[in-house]
């Protein structure tokens, strides 16, 4: 539902991060409210849209999901060109994916839009017993690089709406 005659912001949002960190699952949880234990690796670029109404604006998200290019560590800049927001995802149970997330952040900071709203997302927070990256480490990296940090679970739905809500709010301030 569109907001009450207020501003409409159309925003391209890209998901970045290692294979298996839960990018597709985050998008599907947000857009469809569902979760799949055996989420198929994305074949061909996937595209989702979702509308989020805030009191001050209506944000129409065009969500771009990778088509597995992240496996080759070379995302064509075309993928994030024109993006207003980016979610960089890692898996809290895998330190390797956190290291990779830092690389994606650096790439976006070098080649992305200067006004890009960026979130660092520690996904799979339901795997707390197998945690491999401390909350403080994620928070510190985010703070040092001007991103905001959030721990989510596409599985349990923890912080998914909060994540997109926060991005939407930052977009309304940026545009």
Positions that interact with Mg ion (CB under 5 A): 23-24, 42
Cα separations in angstroms, 43 against 34, 40, 67, 69, 125: 19, 8, 5, 10, 26
Nearer to Mg ion, 19 or 174 (CB): 19
- Note whether 37 binds ligand GDP by CB under 6 A: yes
DSSP-based three-state secondary structure for 161: helix
Subset of residues 97 to 156 that bind ligand GDP, contact rule: CB under 6 A:
123-124, 126-127, 153-155
DSSP output for 44-100 = S-EEEEEEEE-SSEEEEEEEEE--SGGGGT---HHHHTT-SEEEEEEETT-HHHHHH
Select from 35-43, 77-85, 106-114, 166-174 the region that touches ligand GDP (CB under 6 A): 35-43
Bridge partners of residue 12, in order along the sequence: 62
Q: Which does 77 bind (CB under 5 to 8 A by kind): ligand GDP, Mg ion, none?
A: none
Q: Which does 153 bind (CB under 5 to 8 A by kind): ligand GDP, Mg ion, none?
A: ligand GDP
Contact residues for ligand GDP (CB under 6 A)?
Answer: 17, 19-25, 36-39, 41-42, 123-124, 126-127, 153-155
């Amino acid at each position: 539902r569109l907001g009450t005659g207020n501003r409409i912001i159309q925003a391209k949002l890209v998901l970045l991060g290692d294979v298996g960190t839960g990018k597709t699952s985050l998008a599907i949880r947000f857009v469809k409210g569902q979760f799949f234990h055996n989420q198929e690796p994305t074949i061909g670029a996937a595209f989702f849209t979702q509308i989020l109404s805030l009191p001050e604006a209506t944000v129409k998200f065009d969500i771009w999901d990778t088509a597995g290019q992240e496996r080759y560590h070379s995302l064509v800049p075309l993928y994030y060109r024109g993006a207003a927001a980016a979610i960089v995802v890692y898996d809290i149970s895998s330190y390797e994916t956190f290291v990779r997330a830092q690389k994606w952040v650096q790439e976006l900071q070098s080649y992305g839009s200067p006004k890009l709203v960026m979130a660092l997302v520690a996904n799979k927070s339901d795997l707390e017993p197998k945690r491999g990256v401390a909350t403080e480490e994620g928070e510190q990296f985010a703070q040092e690089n001007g991103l905001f940090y959030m721990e989510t679970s596409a599985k349990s739905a923890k912080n998914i709406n909060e994540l997109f809500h926060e991005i939407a709010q930052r977009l309304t301030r940026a545009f």
